[in-house]
Structure 1
Amino acid sequence: FIELAALRFEVSQEFRSFIAVGILGAFTTFSTFSLDAVALYERGRTLAAGAYVLLSVVLCITALFAGMTAIRRL
């Protein structure tokens, strides 16, 4: 699909890189996160699965705010 879109529409190399690395990388990262959470749940480790999801989201958002704060102070 991406290659067909690139052939049909003229897009820059930067945009192709964004799609290949950014978008597809996000899909694979989120898929792995989801698979890990479900695997924990299916093994009966419900508390661990919940903690994994909650801590992953909270720490990710905390890191985002820390990064935004650091950049704004530059």
Structure 2
Amino acid sequence: MNLKIFFILALGGIMGTIFRYGFIFYSVKIWGTHFPWGTLGINVIGSFLMGCFVALFNKFIDLPLELKLFLTTGLLGSFTTFSGFSFDFMNLWQQGMIYQSFFYILLSVFLSLGAVFLGYSIGRL
């Protein structure tokens, strides 16, 4: 890996992490901590944006590799969070919120998959 790509990925990672922290911070302020709305929102938004980006990359194939890596691996890779999703599920489960924990899995999977398809469809326009 060349140094330029390394720094581009790092910059995207820093930005995605800051966006994720801000999103979760304000989600907790708005909706509280009874359900992990912040992590759910992050993963759905990230999936939607990934779909948009992939469609745009297919449409404009001459975009620089560095831009593609910055947006997908760097920015979205650090913005979305499967480990956060897993932790939130475990946390709901350990609190005895069994139905909510499975509802969270269903929402996360189906909304994220729907969002990536929607983003891809919009990006192809």
| TM beyond 0.5 | yes
Q: How many Å separate the matches in 1 of 2:2 and 2:119? A: 34
Over the matched positions of the two proteins, sequence identity in percent amounts to: 33
**TM-score, normalised on structure 2?**
0.43
Q: How many Å separate the matches in 1 of 2:101 and 2:107? A: 10
More contact order relative to length (CA 8 Å, sep ≥ 6): 2
**Count of residue pairs brought into register by the alignment:** 63
Give 1:10 shift. 3.3
Structure 2 segments unaligned to the other structure (5+ residues): 14-73
Structure 2 match to 1:64: 116
Task: Specify which of 12, 16, 19 is matched with residue 7 of structure 2.
Answer: 16
Name the larger-Rg structure: 1
Q: 1:19 to 1:61 in 2, by over 3 A?
A: farther
1:31 aligns with 2:22: no
The 5-angstrom pairing of residues 45-56 of structure 1 reads: 45-56=97-108
RMSD (Å) for aligned C-alpha atoms: 2.4
**TM-score, normalised on structure 1?**
0.67
